[in-house]
Amino acid sequence: MRIELEKRAGQSAFFSLVSPVLALVLTLIAGGIMFALLGKSPTEALYTFFVEPLLDPWSLDQIAVKAGPLILMGVGLCVAYRSNNWNIGAEGQFTIGAITGSILPILYPDFQNASVLPLMMVMGAIGGAAFAAIPAFLKSRMNTSEILTSLMLVYISQLFLDWLVRGPWRDPGGMNFPVSRDYSPSAVLQPLYSSGSMHMEFVIAIVVALIVWFMMNFTLKGFEVTVLGESERAGRFAGFSSRRMIWFSMLLSGGLAGLAGICEVSGSIGHLQPSISPGYGFTAIIVAFLGRLNPLGAIAAGLVLALTYVSGEAAQLAIGVSDKITRVLQGVLLFFVLSCDTLIRYKIRIVWSSLSAKVKGDA
């Protein structure tokens, strides 16, 4: 007996639409079982994770703060994955974007005017795109797997950041702590309202998602992304270059990750430190798939994944569970998203075969 996946003749439009919802429901069921095994009340735990934060204004504000980088990176990854270029290194591009965007406030702290923040955003995006250019070059020139190269570069970027804040960029007045100098007020993304923490990153993320959605649906470049992602051979017949698409998709996703990085440190942290992300770059992969590789879907998916971060922090005190539960739930969600998508495209077929039949067939 063996189990095979047989491609379906056509995909159900209905199940394609409800697949993310089904994945969320299955995640809730699996989460309830997990909490029960931990000796917690499944009802109370799930309420704490997925309902209670939505009833608190402060939690809603924090959800928007955490959704900003997730949406920005998720939108970029939607384009990359739809073009069949698998950028797994958004976390590293996020880190490099934070570093390059911080050059002005750290090395030139006296440079303070209205142009500082826009320049930081541009430099952050360029840094992230430049870092993504490494796996793009290796794939386009040497056919190297961008999955491996982009992933390995994540650890290089994190070690580089750690070296900077412990060495040449360490704040001389920071009492020997591994942090850079604090950014000047002109280099900080200020909250949109006085009683909250939400800043312009969330607004930027929504605007970028709308722009990319328009590009994907109403421009030739979006059509090129779709065609090359579905069939590279068909794209060549249409006159599209798969090599140029590698560069376009990787630079776009890397640039948005770099923009998210500098927005995060400028708006939420105010300086560089060894750890600037709880894993946003990897969570953005879930955002892209949960959003059906659609920029508008990435907005909703980013808010859902941001909810898990906020609720995970609150659950440590409310029900006494580890913060690692958040990662577990995110991983379970990704598993069910991919499983549902697989079953939409393929059907399971069980093949029964005896050894004698196989021998007879070979004869």
**Tens digits of residue pLDDT in 101-121:** 999 999 999 998 999 999 999
Structure tokens at 293: 């590789």
Q: For 47, how many CA atoms within 13 A lie in the half-sphere containing its CB?
A: 7
Total of domains in the chain = 2
270 and 180, same domain (yes or no): yes
Clarify whether residues 54 and 194 are in a common domain.
yes
- Angle at Cα 51 formed by Cα 47 and Cα 52, nearest 5°? 85
What pLDDT is recorded for position 163? 96
E-strand stretches of 8-111: none
Q: Are residues 335 and 225 part of one domain?
A: no
Confidence (pLDDT) at 363: 54
The answer to whether residues 149 and 267 belong to one domain is yes
pLDDT at site 356:
47
Boundary (domain end) residue, out of 283, 301, 319 = 319
Q: Check whether residue 235 and residue 362 sit in a common domain.
A: no
What pLDDT does residue 210 have? 97
Residues 306 and 207 in one domain: yes
pLDDT band of residue 75 (cuts 50, 70, 90) is: very high
| Secondary structure of 190-246 in HEC code, one letter for each residue | CCCCCCCCCCHHHHHHHHHHHHHHHHHHHCHHHHHHHHHHHCHHHHHHCCCCHHHHH
- Same domain, yes or no, for 235 and 326? no
CA distance 96 to 254: 10
pLDDT tops 80 at residue 197? yes
For residues 32 and 84, membership in a common domain is answered with: no
Verify that 286 and 329 share a domain, yes or no.
Answer: no
Model pLDDT, residue 354:
57
* Residues 315 and 325 occupy one common structural domain: no
- Which CATH number goes with the domain that contains 133? 1.10.3470
- How confident is the model over 64-87, as a mean pLDDT? 96
User: What's the domain range around 26?
Assistant: 1-38+321-363
Mean pLDDT to the nearest integer, 83-104: 96
Judged by average pLDDT, the poorest of 9-13, 16-20, 302-306, 359-363 is 359-363
140-191 residue pLDDT tens:
999 999 999 999 999 999 999 999 999 999 998 878 899 999 999 999 998 8
Q: For residue range 314-357, what is the model confidence (pLDDT) as tens digits? A: 787 778 888 788 888 889 998 998 888 888 888 888 877 655 45
Residues 245 and 338 in one domain: no
pLDDT tens digits, 202-224:
999 999 999 999 999 999 999 99
- Tell which of 319, 336, 353 closes a domain: 319
Is the pLDDT score of 251 beyond 60? yes
One domain, residues 136 and 106: yes
Q: Which of 325, 295, 301, 296 is nearest to 313 (CA)?
A: 325
